[in-house]
């Protein structure tokens, strides 16, 4: 294997053949003092969905500002595995046991509805193919059966599966998607409406009435921090419940060695892979085998995890195609597996800590954060606070 340190750490979603490259907006750096009603910090999936929700609530586009430390979808929002999964970070039957039946069921339904909404908003980025959960042991096979039984008992779609990938269950409401393309499309949409978006504008201070960036500042009534991996860096008071972790991935050149029609979750969700429409195989996981080293906010691929990924690619999936991309992302894990959605300081709302599954529930939280900033406690706020 080539030295991981020599890899560019660029996700496959940013590749030259991806539609997301053409959709990338050109945004300025914030270098002056500006005024707004609401400043949204983080231009990933949750932050951009939050901005859309602010506009839907009637806020004039000229009174909304969005800033990002790097570029649109440069964090976990554009560096993940491209799964749209219903539910929370826990499998459905585990969520019932942990959070109660009514609460888990409502959260699951809301995420199914949000997947549909994402498909309507950005159809070019979404493939409605379902997802597989594949058992890696007899014990996990029994757990898959319990997972499926809980879904079916509550009327949610699911069916047993046995095929080339292995045995487990098929969840037809899940999707595959291009996460960077979605974010870039959303950024272009709100920017075209008149929202002021700024890249390369890292936030150095958040206080009531002001968000100060490295070279400029936003005077605002309310600020919404919609980031994941860097949540505790921006708001240290959240650190006990927003622990940073590194997730790593790789991708291959297009190949016909295998045919994977839908994304696969395996080994209790620690490992995941899919095949893109152009034939590339995208693989991530093995964080649990990296030990304490993977509890970090360093979003640089590491040699041990990349070696495990490559070994599974060759020996588990039997793919010999050359590896073209290796990358990592930083996310945050909460103590109970549910996201954070709170007012941490007067006029400062925070959402994040999606525990590795933020593509869908993060969008829900972004919408709820917008409403919370406008003085409305939505159902999502109540469900996460219960």
Q: Are residues 215 and 264 in the same domain?
A: no
Q: Are residues 268 and 295 in the same domain?
A: yes
| 1, pLDDT greater than 50 | no
Q: Are residues 23 and 42 in the same domain?
A: yes
Q: Are residues 253 and 375 in the same domain?
A: no
| 198, pLDDT greater than 80 | yes
Q: Which two tokens stand for residue 13?
A: 């979603």
Exposure pattern of 303-335 as b/e (b: 16+ CB <10 Å)? eebbebbbebbeeebebebebbbbbbbbbbbbe
| 330, pLDDT greater than 80 | yes
**Which of 295, 313, 333 is the last residue in one of the domains?**
333
Helices (H) and strands (E) in the chain, counts: 10, 19
User: Can you tell me the mean pLDDT for 89-97?
Assistant: 98
Residue 85 domain flag: no
**Which helix (H) or strand (E) covers residue 65, if one does?**
strand 64-67
What is the Cα–Cα distance from 316 to 327, expressed in whole angstroms?
20
pLDDT in tens, 355-368: 999 999 999 999 99
Q: What is the pLDDT of residue 4?
A: 41
Q: Are residues 163 and 256 in the same domain?
A: yes
Evaluate whether 199 touches 339 at the Cβ level (below 8 Å): no
Q: Which two tokens stand for residue 361?
A: 């529930």
Q: Are residues 212 and 255 in the same domain?
A: no
Residue 94 domain flag: no
What is the Cα–Cα distance from 149 to 254, expressed in whole angstroms?
37
Residue 112 domain flag: no
> Is residue 72 classed exposed, middle or buried when 0-12, 13-18 and 19+ CB atoms within 10 A define those classes?
buried
Residue 368 domain flag: yes
Q: What is the pLDDT of residue 19?
A: 53
Quickly state the pLDDT bin for 6 (edges 50, 70, 90): very low
| 72, pLDDT greater than 80 | yes
Q: What is the pLDDT of residue 46?
A: 98
Residue 109 domain flag: no
Residue numbers of the domain that contains 323? 128-177+244-333
Q: Are residues 230 and 355 in the same domain?
A: yes
**Which helix (H) or strand (E) covers residue 109, if one does?**
helix 101-121
Residue 83 domain flag: no
What is the Cα–Cα distance from 13 to 253, expressed in whole angstroms?
13
Domain count, the chain: 2
Hey, what's the torsion of the CAs at 154, 260, 272, 74, to 10 degrees? -110
Q: Which two tokens stand for residue 331?
A: 């996310």
pLDDT: which is higher, 1 or 238: 238
Q: Are residues 137 and 37 in the same domain?
A: no
Q: What is the pLDDT of residue 3?
A: 44
Q: Are residues 252 and 234 in the same domain?
A: no
- Domain at 170, CATH number: 3.30.9.10
- Domain at 39, CATH number: 3.50.50.60
Quickly state the pLDDT bin for 24 (edges 50, 70, 90): confident
User: Can you tell me the mean pLDDT for 184-207?
Assistant: 97
**Which of 310, 333, 356 is the last residue in one of the domains?**
333
Q: Are residues 316 and 248 in the same domain?
A: yes
Q: Are residues 209 and 147 in the same domain?
A: no
Mean pLDDT of the chain: 95
Residue 195 domain flag: yes
Evaluate whether 227 touches 47 at the Cβ level (below 8 Å): yes
Residue 91 domain flag: no
Q: Which two tokens stand for residue 367?
A: 């919408």
Evaluate whether 298 touches 244 at the Cβ level (below 8 Å): no
What is the Cα–Cα distance from 21 to 178, expressed in whole angstroms?
11
Range scoring the smallest mean pLDDT among 17-26, 216-225, 291-300: 17-26
Any residues with CB less than 8 A from the CB of 186 and at least 6 apart, and which? 45, 48, 49, 51, 52, 121, 122
**Which of 308, 333, 358 is the last residue in one of the domains?**
333
**Which helix (H) or strand (E) covers residue 264, if one does?**
strand 264-266
What is the Cα–Cα distance from 244 to 352, expressed in whole angstroms?
11
Q: Are residues 295 and 164 in the same domain?
A: yes
What is the Cα–Cα distance from 226 to 71, expressed in whole angstroms?
14
Quickly state the pLDDT bin for 273 (edges 50, 70, 90): very high
């Amino acid at each position: 294997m080539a030295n991981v340190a020599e890899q560019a750490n660029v996700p496959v979603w940013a590749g030259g053949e991806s539609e997301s490259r053409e959709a990338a907006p050109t945004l300025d750096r914030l270098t002056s003092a500006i005024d707004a009603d609401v400043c949204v910090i983080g231009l990933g999936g949750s932050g951009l969905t939050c901005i859309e929700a602010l506009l839907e609530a009637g806020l004039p586009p000229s009174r909304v500002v969005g800033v990002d430390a790097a570029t649109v979808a440069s964090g976990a929002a554009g560096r993940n595995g491209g799964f749209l999964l219903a539910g929370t970070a826990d499998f459905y039957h585990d969520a019932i046991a942990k959070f109660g039946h009514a609460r888990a069921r409502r959260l699951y339904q809301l995420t199914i509805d949000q997947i549909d909404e994402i498909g309507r908003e950005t159809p070019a980025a979404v493939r409605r193919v379902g997802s597989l959960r594949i058992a890696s042991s007899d014990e996990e096979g029994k757990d898959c059966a319990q997972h499926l039984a809980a879904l079916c008992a509550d009327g949610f779609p699911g069916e047993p599966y046995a095929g080339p990938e292995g045995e487990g269950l098929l969840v037809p409401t899940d999707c595959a998607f291009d996460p960077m393309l979605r974010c870039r499309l959303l950024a272009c949409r709100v920017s075209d409406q008149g929202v002021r978006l700024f890249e390369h504008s890292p936030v150095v201070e958040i206080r009531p009435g002001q968000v100060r960036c490295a070279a400029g500042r936003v005077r605002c009534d309310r600020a919404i921090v919609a980031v994941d991996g860097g949540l505790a860096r921006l708001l240290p008071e959240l650190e006990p419940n927003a622990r940073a972790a590194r997730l790593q991935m790789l991708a291959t050149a297009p190949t016909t060695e295998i045919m994977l029609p839908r994304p696969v979750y395996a080994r209790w969700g620690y490992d995941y892979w899919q095949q893109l429409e152009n034939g590339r195989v995208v693989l991530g996981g093995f964080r649990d085998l990296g030990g304490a080293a993977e509890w970090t906010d360093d979003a640089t691929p590491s040699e041990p995890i990349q070696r495990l990924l490559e070994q599974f690619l060759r020996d588990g999936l039997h793919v010999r195609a050359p590896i073209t991309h290796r990358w990592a992302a930083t996310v945050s894990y909460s103590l109970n597996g549910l996201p954070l959605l709170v007012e941490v300081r007067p006029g400062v709302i925070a959402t994040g800590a999606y525990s590795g599954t933020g593509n869908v529930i993060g969008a829900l939280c972004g919408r709820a954060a917008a409403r919370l900033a406008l003085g409305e406690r939505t159902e999502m706020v109540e469900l996460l606070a219960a």
